[in-house]
Each structure stands twice: as structure tokens, then as C-alpha cells.
């Protein structure tokens, strides 16, 4: 007998026009988009509420995106080739931290609308993102910008319209001081309305600013994106910049999905997407901690339903948020990626966020990377400023021991700096043997895995 899959969305608050938009996105996928044809047999149909319909369907994975290619997700028989030939759309490749490349259809008007919708969820962003604002960007140039790992580019070579790219180099551990001085000089002259930054990159610059006591322009808003910010990185950035800081969460595939408000919570961008929340089982941190699947609205060139972004989030239970917003999901935090999960020796899941919170309290710790090397073995590489590494090593071992339990064997290695993974993203935690996050889910909210998703 088939048991009904529960949907978390039934307990969330939405505007009256919202469920019909979800229904439209789902019908468009099931009825007129090639990649979703195999989902038809699982769809209970529109006599059932849209959230229950969505809940009974599989997750869409990056593997699915690669299998069907960008053309498989174009709805209503539109021609990908004609769209490309006319310049309406282009193809953009992403390379995730696990090295899996996906080719995505990029339709700029949809992306801009998604960004504009997200800006409504933060009052600083709302006033600044009105259009035409100057923006400085500090991230890996391989994510966006102009890479040059050998030699340096001029200001003109790093400028595109209203955007200035602060770094052509993708590894902050190798940045010379002269490069960071140039970034500060750029900020002081360019005076951007917004500084959009990868938090680990900006933290490196912030440490330089504080250490050398440099004067720097404080942008009206700093938006952190590309990476989930570590408590340590955030604290280092706050020491150097007085600007308000907001985290923006999204992806090339799904657009803008969550935006941090003035009260420090992340609100779902309900104008551009629906988010299904799949809680983890109680022993792994549920029901407040879970995975998210994103369904996008109104992209004429891309039908995306229940796309697994590969991230784990923690819900905020304080409703409404102190900022007054209450629509859709509200998060306390993004807990990191499923590929960054580790397990205790007893088999309980530990998110990157949980590791980060305990290490974030250690005085003198600048950067770290934790690797689970065996069922009960963990190695922490860490970099310190003052006090010396030996003192910090004892403290990091203690806090990790209390997190993973007495059976955990913890090794610490003091290093000069942590190097990001290609294309330039820090991975704070990971396990050498990947963890299958499907088995951590609360089964009341997750349909059985389809055989064609096992590979
Ligand atoms: Zn809020």
C-alpha cells in the first residue's frame, strides 16, 4: 500500500496567488517539458493539492540535468537552437566542488527579475539595487570575472560596465600583499554601492586591512555569496568593515533562492521560486534541519522542478521574523552542503555549520579544514594568528572531541594557510568516503528513491 508523503509546505504561509504559481510550474514540467516525462506516472494529478503532488515526485539532480542536457528542460517545444541563434539565451557551464559540470540555459531577464525579487527581502538591498548601482566583486575569477593567474590585469581589464572585479587570482593563500593593497585602493576610488564577495576571500582581505591598519571605503552593503560564510570569516570581515552584511543564497541553476534580512534570517524568494523542505530524521538533526528542493517560476527557457541544490538548511522557528516578513520558508542558517557532511563514530550526521559553530569560538583560529578520514578518525588542518598554534591546537581538539564524542580520534595539523578547491571555493569540512544523504532523511517527507536514480 502506498503511504502518502507529507509536505512541509502545508505548514508554511504563502500569499493566495502562490499555490497556483506552483501548480503552473509543475504542470508545465509534467505536461510540456521532455525531461519530466518519466515523472508523469508518479504525479497523483490535480485533484490533489499542489504541495502533495510535488511531495510525491522525485528530486531533480545534477545527474538528471546532465543526462537530459539543457534542451531537455526547455518547455512548450521551444527551440534551444533558435533561442541561442537569436541571442535571447546563452549556455553557461557550472563546475561544482565535486567537479560535476552542468550546462545551463541562461536567460538574463529571468535572472534579473529573480535578483530584484531577492532584493525586496533586505531593506538595504532594496534601496541600493534599484538599478545602475556600482558593484565591486571579490570572488574566484573562474566563477565570475577575468582570470589571470600569472601576472596582473589593469583596472580597465577588470572592469565590465558597472562591475569591477577586484581579483584576477583564484587562490587567496597565494595573494601577495601588493595585490591586497591594490584591492583596497580600488575600493577607495571606485566607491561601490555594493561589494559582492566570497566570504573566505573577503576575510583574507579583511585580515590584511586590520593587521596593516589600512583605511578602506565601507560600502553601503556587503553581499556574501558563492560560499556559505564561516563564523570565523564573518567575524574577520566585521572587524575591517562597518557595512551592513547580507548573505544571498542561490545557484546558477535555480537563481536567487534565499536572502538574508536585517534581522539575520534568510527568507525564501517567494516571487521567483518554491522550496520544498525535506527534514532529516530526528537522530540526524531533524525536523528543523533538512535538505531543500527548488522549483522555479516563469522562466520561459528553463523548467526546474524539485531541483536538489545539494545544501542543508536549518529552519527558523521564530515566527514572524523580527523584520516582519513571514512568507514562505525562513531559515536560521544554511548548514552547508551534503558533500560537506561528516558522521560521528556512532553514525550521527554532523553538518558543516555544527563544526563551524564550535570552532568559531576558538580564539586565534583564522582558517581550518576538517576531513573525516575514517569511521572515527578526523584530521583538522588549521591556521592561526596570535596566540601560537600549540595553544590553539589543544582548544580545537577539545571542542571537536565534545562535538564528535569520546570515541573520536582527532589529529590536528598547523598549516600556513588553507587552500581553496578549484575553481576557488573553500571546503571547511568533508568526509573521504562520501555520505549518501538520501539515507538521512525523515521518510515521512521523502518518496522512495526511483531505481533510475540509482547509478
Ligand atoms: Zn527577517
Task: Based on the fold, state whether residues 333 and 393 are members of the same structural domain.
Answer: no
3-state SS, residue 31: helix
Give me the pLDDT at residue 52, please.
93
Its domain, for residue 237, covers: 1-133+193-338
Q: How far is the CA of 174 from the centre of ligand 1 (A)?
A: 38
Residue 93 within any structural domain of the chain = yes
Q: How far is the CA of 325 from the centre of ligand 1 (A)?
A: 5
Give me the pLDDT at residue 393, please.
94
The length of the chain is 455
pLDDT average, residue stretch 183-200: 96
Geometric angle at alpha carbon 146, from 302 and 120, rounded to 5°: 50
Predicted confidence (pLDDT) per residue in 362-374, tens digit: 999 999 999 999 9
Distance CA 193, CA 133 (A): 6
Query: In whole angstroms, how far apart are CA 349 and each of 49, 151, 284, 317, 424?
Result: 33, 44, 5, 21, 26
Give me the pLDDT at residue 137, please.
96
Contact 330, 369 (CB under 8 A): no
Q: How far is the CA of 264 from the centre of ligand 1 (A)?
A: 7
Task: Based on the fold, state whether residues 232 and 88 are members of the same structural domain.
Answer: yes
Q: How far is the CA of 224 from the centre of ligand 1 (A)?
A: 17
Task: Based on the fold, state whether residues 291 and 309 are members of the same structural domain.
Answer: yes
Task: Based on the fold, state whether residues 59 and 73 are members of the same structural domain.
Answer: yes
CATH code (residue 29): 3.40.50.12780
Task: Based on the fold, state whether residues 212 and 354 are members of the same structural domain.
Answer: no
Reply yes or no on whether the pLDDT at 452 is more than 60.
no
Domain count, the chain: 2
Q: How far is the CA of 332 from the centre of ligand 1 (A)?
A: 10
Q: How far is the CA of 143 from the centre of ligand 1 (A)?
A: 29
Q: How far is the CA of 17 from the centre of ligand 1 (A)?
A: 21
Give me the pLDDT at residue 53, please.
94
Q: How far is the CA of 333 from the centre of ligand 1 (A)?
A: 12
Residue 46 within any structural domain of the chain = yes
Give me the pLDDT at residue 309, please.
93
CATH code (residue 388): 3.30.300.30
Residue 138 within any structural domain of the chain = no
Distance CA 318, CA 326 (A): 10
Distance CA 115, CA 135 (A): 14
Contact 384, 418 (CB under 8 A): no
Dihedral angle over CA of 259, 333, 143, 453, nearest 10 = -110
- Grid coordinates in use for 161? 560596465
Predicted confidence (pLDDT) per residue in 260-273, tens digit: 999 999 999 999 99
Q: How far is the CA of 321 from the centre of ligand 1 (A)?
A: 5
User: Minimum mean pLDDT among 50-64, 242-256, 433-447: which range?
Assistant: 433-447
Task: Based on the fold, state whether residues 291 and 346 are members of the same structural domain.
Answer: no
Reply yes or no on whether the pLDDT at 129 is more than 90.
no
Residue 166 within any structural domain of the chain = no
Q: How far is the CA of 294 from the centre of ligand 1 (A)?
A: 20
Reply yes or no on whether the pLDDT at 100 is more than 70.
no
Q: How far is the CA of 263 from the centre of ligand 1 (A)?
A: 5
Positions of E strands within 322-361? 330-337, 342-343, 349-350
Reply yes or no on whether the pLDDT at 131 is more than 60.
yes
Task: Give the best-scoring range by mean pLDDT among 10-14, 43-47, 245-249.
Answer: 245-249
pLDDT average, residue stretch 156-170: 94
Contact 242, 441 (CB under 8 A): no
Reply yes or no on whether the pLDDT at 205 is more than 80.
yes
Instruction: Give the pLDDT band (50/70/90) at residue 333.
Output: very high
Q: What is the pTM for the complete model shown?
A: 0.93
Q: How far is the CA of 132 from the centre of ligand 1 (A)?
A: 26
Q: Which residue's C-alpha cell is 563514530?
A: 345
Q: Which long-range contacts (CB under 8 A, 24 or more apart) does 314-317 make?
A: 314/288, 314/289, 314/353, 315/277, 315/288, 315/289, 315/290, 316/265, 317/288
Read off φ and ψ for residue 365, nearest 5 degrees.
-80, 130
Out of 338, 358, 375, a domain closes at 338
Q: How far is the CA of 319 from the centre of ligand 1 (A)?
A: 9
Q: How far is the CA of 147 from the centre of ligand 1 (A)?
A: 36
Give me the pLDDT at residue 45, please.
86
Distance CA 220, CA 206 (A): 16
Dihedral angle over CA of 391, 394, 398, 403, nearest 10 = 90
Give me the pLDDT at residue 183, please.
98
Q: How far is the CA of 117 from the centre of ligand 1 (A)?
A: 15
Q: How far is the CA of 253 from the centre of ligand 1 (A)?
A: 25
Predicted confidence (pLDDT) per residue in 390-438, tens digit: 889 999 999 999 999 999 999 999 999 898 888 778 889 999 998 999 9
Give me the pLDDT at residue 385, please.
81
Give me the pLDDT at residue 454, please.
41
Q: Is the peptide bond before 244 cis (omega within 30 degrees of 0)?
A: no
pLDDT average, residue stretch 383-395: 87
Amino acid at each position: 500500500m502506498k503511504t502518502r508523503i507529507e509536505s512541509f509546505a502545508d505548514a508554511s504561509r504563502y500569499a493566495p496567488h502562490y499555490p497556483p504559481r506552483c501548480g503552473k510550474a509543475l504542470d508545465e514540467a509534467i505536461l510540456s517539458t521532455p525531461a519530466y516525462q518519466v515523472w508523469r506516472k508518479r504525479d497523483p494529478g490535480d485533484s490533489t493539492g499542489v504541495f502533495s503532488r510535488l511531495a510525491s515526485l522525485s528530486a531533480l539532480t545534477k545527474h538528471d540535468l546532465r543526462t537530459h542536457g539543457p534542451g531537455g528542460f526547455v518547455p512548450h517545444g521551444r527551440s534551444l537552437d533558435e533561442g541561442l541563434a537569436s541571442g535571447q539565451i546563452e549556455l553557461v557551464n557550472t563546475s561544482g566542488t565535486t567537479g560535476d559540470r552542468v550546462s545551463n540555459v541562461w536567460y538574463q531577464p529571468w535572472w534579473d527579475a529573480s535578483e530584484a525579487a531577492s532584493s525586496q527581502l533586505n531593506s538595504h538591498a532594496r534601496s541600493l539595487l534599484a538599478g545602475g548601482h556600482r558593484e565591486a566583486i571579490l570572488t574566484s575569477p573562474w566563477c565570475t570575472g577575468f582570470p589571470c593567474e600569472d601576472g596582473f590585469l589593469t583596472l580597465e581589464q577588470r572592469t565590465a560596465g558597472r562591475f569591477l572585479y577586484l581579483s584576477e587570482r583564484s587562490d587567496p593563500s597565494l595573494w601577495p600583499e601588493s595585490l591586497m593593497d591594490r584591492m583596497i585602493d580600488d575600493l577607495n576610488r571606485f566607491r561601490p554601492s555594493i561589494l559582492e564577495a566570497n566570504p573566505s576571500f573577503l576575510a583574507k582581505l579583511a585580515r590584511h586591512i586590520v593587521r596593516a591598519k589600512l583605511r578602506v571605503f565601507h560600502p553601503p552593503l556587503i553581499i556574501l555569496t558563492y560560499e556559505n560564510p564561516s563564523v570565523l570569516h564573518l567575524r574577520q570581515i566585521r572587524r575591517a568593515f562597518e557595512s551592513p552584511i547580507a548573505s544571498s543564497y542561490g545557484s546558477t541553476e535555480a537563481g536567487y533562492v534565499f536572502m538574508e534580512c536585517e534581522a539575520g534570517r534568510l527568507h525564501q524568494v517567494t516571487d521567483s521560486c518554491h522550496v520544498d523542505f525535506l527534514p532529516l530524521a530526528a537522530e540526524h538533526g531533524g525536523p528543523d534541519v533538512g535538505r531543500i528542493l527548488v522549483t522555479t517560476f516563469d522562466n520561459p527557457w528553463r523548467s526546474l522542478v524539485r531541483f536538489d541544490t545539494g545544501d542543508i538548511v536549518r529552519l527558523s522557528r521564530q515566527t514572524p521574523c523580527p523584520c516582519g516578513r513571514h512568507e514562505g520558508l525562513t531559515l536560521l542558517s544554511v548548514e552547508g552542503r551534503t558533500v560537506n557532511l561528516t558522521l560521528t563514530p556512532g553514525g550521527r550526521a554532523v553538518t558543516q555549520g555544527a563544526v563551524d559553530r564550535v570552532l568559531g569560538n576558538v580564539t586565534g583560529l583564522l582558517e581550518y579544514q576538517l576531513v573525516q578520514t575514517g569511521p572515527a578518525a578526523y584530521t583538522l588542518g588549521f591556521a592561526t594568528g596570535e596566540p601560537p598554534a600549540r595553544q590553539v591546537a589543544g582548544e580545537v581538539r577539545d571542542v571537536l572531541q565534545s562535538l564528535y564524542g569520546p570515541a573520536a580520534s582527532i589529529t590536528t595539523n598547523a598549516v600556513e594557510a588553507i587552500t581553496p578547491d578549484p575553481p576557488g571555493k573553500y571546503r571547511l569540512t568533508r568526509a573521504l568516503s562520501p555520505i549518501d544523504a538520501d539515507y538521512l532523511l525523515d521518510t515521512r517527507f521523502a518518496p522512495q528513491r526511483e531505481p533510475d536514480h540509482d547509478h
